[in-house]
Structures are given as C-alpha cells and as structure tokens.
Amino acid sequence: MEQTAAELAILLDGSVSGNPETRVRKLGKIESAGTGAVTFLANKEYEKYVYKSGASVVVVSKDFQPKKDLPPDMTLVKVDDPYSAFAKLLDAYDNILKRDEGVHSSAIIHPDAIIGAGCAIGPGVVIDKGATIGDRTELRAHVYIGRDVTIGTDCMFFSGVRILDRCHVGNRCTIQGGTVIGSDGFGFAPKDDGSYAKVPQTGNVILEDDCDIGALCTLDRATLGSTIVRKGCKLDNLIQVAHNVVIGEKTVIAAQTGIAGSTTIGAQCMIGGQVGISGHLKIANGSRIAAKSGVSASILTPNGTYQGNPVMPIKTFHKFHIALRKLVRSQKNPELIIDDSIK
C-alpha cells in the first residue's frame, strides 16, 4: 500500500491540510507512528501525541485546530468522523492482505463439494461432502468445513475455524481462529442410576449475513431446529452460545459471555464482558447489560440498562450499593473496610 495524502482524502471523503503529495505506505499508532505512516486522532486524550508524532499523515476531524505547532513534515487529512474514516482505511488495507485466489495443494476437497469463483483455499483445509463455498470466500490454513455446510460469498475464516455438519453461514461473515460453529449442545438426561444419557443434538447453527465472530467461540447446534445469530451481530472472543439460542440483529456481545440454552436475545442489544445469561429467557430489544452481570430472569422492557447479579435496572443497582455502603459504615466494624477512592 502506497498512497498520497490527496488519494487518501478522496478515499475518505475528506480534505488535505498540508502537502497533498505526502506519501504513506503503512498504518501506525499515533503514539509510535514513524515516517511513511498514516494514523488518526479521534480521542482528545490522545491529542498530546500528535505534536510529537513522526507520522507523515494524520486523519483528524474537520474542526481540529492545533493548540501547538505540528511537526513540519506532517500532513492532515480532515474528515467528518476520524474513527469511521480510519476503519474504512483499515478495511482497504485488509483487502490488500487477502490471499490470492486458488486452492493450496495440501487442501482436501470432496468431489461433491462446490467451490465458488475467486475463493482462496489455504493449506490443510478440509471441505467435506456436499459443502458449498460462495464466491470470493477465503479459508485460511486448517479450516474444516463439514458435510452439507453452506458458506456465503465474501467470507473470511481464519486458521483453525470449524464449521460442522449442516450449518449455514451467510454472506460477508468473518470468523476468527479456533472458533467452532455447530458443536453439540450440552444436553444430557439423568438416569435412574445417577448417570446421564446424552441427548442427540440434531439441529444446526445459522449465522446470517454480515456477522463477525471472535476467536475461540463456541456456537452449539440446536437439539431440534436451529441456533440462530441474526444479521449484523458482532461477538467478541471466548463466547459460549448454547443450543437453540437466538440472537437478534445487530447485537454486540463482549468477551467471555455465556448464554444458556433456548434463550432469545433481542435486536440491537449491547452485552458486556463476562455476563452470564440463564436458559429459556427473553431479553428485550435494545437492552444494555453491564459487564459481569448475571441474568436469571427475562428482561421484557426494551431499551433499558441493567447491572448486577442478579441483574437489575442500573439506577436501582447504584442505589443499592449506596445503601450498602451506608449500612457497612453504620456498623462501625473495623474489619469492614471501604475504600472511598472507589466511586
């Protein structure tokens, strides 16, 4: 990648302040970027770095006014939203890094599988009987695609991804390394002797269009029917989605969250890290659940914010902790220490 500041401005729908012929060939962090790098300033807390940055081009907001002299060789590209603009630039750079199309000689592809045009199939990939891979999809090293799996167009699966039998992945999905889609759900029936009989998991997982799934996630197949992740969902690393869960459109879930079986999460929810959600619940559209919360009952009111274990409306949670602190102080017990620096 090598572009001038003027070319970047066209790509990002911005304007150049400085030398439009300044050339960049790499991306960098504002704290450490050097000559030939392009970086961005979206957070005012990082403005101090721009005055000593070695970056050749910095993407800034249109209303950015330097408080000090900028480095003499620095050129600014001014845009409406620096963060979104730089995300667009990262996407363009990522496309440059994509593998050339073709099938590696060590890949194993069943004769009945269908591979679309422009796909890149990496070393050690296995594609089983009846699988269909859409156009321009890239499968990095040691990806496994099971029987009768369907994969859409323009997908990216990183090394070690497993898509197991009969699962479906839509278009433009990205799945990070080590994630398993379609593993058996955790279903066991107790027997008279105290042991457990495994309940067969006969369903599948459906991942709709434009979903991003982080590394080392597990999305379990349904006992019957489908576990479903709707369009535009974003899941962080190390997330467990149990059998028959449904996650609504454009929901975002942070790392280490676990969702028990048959729970339905609404559209456009935001769920923090390490949240635990019990089974057979319903969570309303637009719900926001703070990190480390425990959800043991359905949330039926849309667009609320919740925290705690058990989870409660966030204002109630704050009142509860204020009352608890007052109660502890009233006991005058030296063994109960409250750090007043923690607000």
CA proximity to 271, closest of 233, 244, 297: 233
Inter-CA distances, 100 with 60, 88, 96, 119, 138, Å: 33, 22, 10, 8, 9
Which residue has tokens 């029917």? 225
Query: Integer distance in angstroms from the first to the last C-alpha of the chain?
Result: 47
User: Phi/psi zone of residue 227: left (φ > 0), alpha (ψ -120 to 50 degrees), beta?
Assistant: beta
Q: How far is CA 8 from CA 14, 90, 118, 278, in A?
A: 8, 12, 27, 48
Q: Which ranges in 69-132 belong to alpha helices (H)? A: 82-96
Examine the residue annotation and report whether 280 is marked as an active-site residue of this protein.
no
Round to whole Å and give the CA distance between 259 and 3.
45
Q: Which of 110, 142, 243, 321 is catalytic?
A: 243
Reduced to 3 states (helix: H, G, I; strand: E, B; else coil), residue 48 is helix
Query: What is the Cα–Cα distance from 257 to 213, expressed in whole angstroms?
Result: 13
| CA 153/CA 236 separation, integer angstroms | 22
Residue type, 238: L
Looking at the annotation, which residues are catalytic? 243
